Structure 1
Amino acid sequence: MGDWLGPEEWQAVALSLKVAFWATLGALPLGLLTAFALARWQFPGKQLLNGLVHLPLILPPVVTGYLLLMGFGTRGILGGWLEQIGIVFAFRWTGAALAAGIMAFPLMVRAMRLSIEAVDPRLEQAAATLGASRVWVFATVTLPMILPGILAGTVLAFAKAMGEFGATITFVSNIPGQTQTLPSAIYAFLQIPGGEASAMRLVMVSIAIAMLALLLSEVLAQRLAKRVSGA
């Protein structure tokens, strides 16, 4: 791939994988907790939380990027304070990961929530009547049954993070080698004469990565489903 892609193209691929990985990893714990809360818990403001979770899907990505810039930019509400302790998001790859994670979060939560709602609570209650704690019930009963949903949500989030453009370019700009991810690089190549070939190569790489991720998730989900069913 290194011979097929130029240095700038390879940088965009490597940065996109890095951003998508950390965006997905960072969103995973909060996504699972949020999905579990929406699926099982009753609390004031539940519908508000549900709306906030899905808001990035409804808002134009540029709006999300602008809100991130206002909040986490160096002059933002939180950005100035975070800069004092050495944490900077604006115009850095970490900001691209933050934007991608936020945009991917709704897809992750939805897949996990549907998986949790499909688990029969009577199975968990049966384990609890045998003296198992809530943590043990979750680890031994609930978690194995929702693993396919967790995997599906993780893959969807990774794919979304790989393809995120609007929020990312608004928040961290399009700086080659620093914040230029695959979609940003494709956009940049299409703006210059003779850049169509580079753009097409990156399009092909994007399709290949997405297909590999989906195929891998399908294989792993089938294996997990067979293990859970005892087949």
Structure 2
Amino acid sequence: MSPLIVTGTDTGIGKTVFSAGLTAALGATYWKPVQSGLEDATDTETVVALSGCKTLPEAYRLPLPASPHLSAEDAGVEIDLAQLEIPQVDGPLVVEGAGGVMVPLTRSTFYLDLFAHWQAPIILVARTALGTINHTALSLMALRNSNCSVVGVVFSGEAVPDVEKTIVQMCDVPHLGRLNVLSEITPETLKEAFAAIDIETIRGAL
């Protein structure tokens, strides 16, 4: 089975919560290659708590909550892209990026470069708030110009049908569903909310 990459249009838009739900729905393994920020629960710890699924250790754990290239420099290390090859696992693997498509890993490499190298199907998570049409269209353009395979867009937030429809039509991209705002995020509420996600289309990309 192919790995699935989860990236987003920005940071703090629900990629990790979506990744947890996706990992649980697929019975997959989860991997966060680079973790920036260790003061609060890491993304891997959040996914474990919400999915109960198997996870792989991060290739890099960097204390500073910032762009990976800045976190690495603060820690006195340089991210070696050779350490970021996708691991081989039994069954599906959900791989979560950091922030958005154009987040730097080093002073010369964006996450987009890594996605293009991996050549694995990508799910783009986009918030439904103001500005999302621009951010989503730019992210999709960058991915497609780098010959990345985009499975579709998952929206995060309150329903804004006209915005979602505009993105789907103008960007010619599948709508994979929307995760509503959860007042309490638990394994149970996430599983219930995930009924709105087109998991069959996602499975078809594996």
Same fold (TM over 0.5): no
Which range, TM-score by smaller chain?
under 0.3
Which of the pair has more CA radius of gyration?
A: 1
Q: TM-score, normalised by structure 2?
A: 0.27
Q: TM-score, normalised by structure 1?
A: 0.25
Instruction: For CA contacts below 8 A with separation 6 or more, give which structure has more relative contact order.
Output: 1
More strand by share: 2
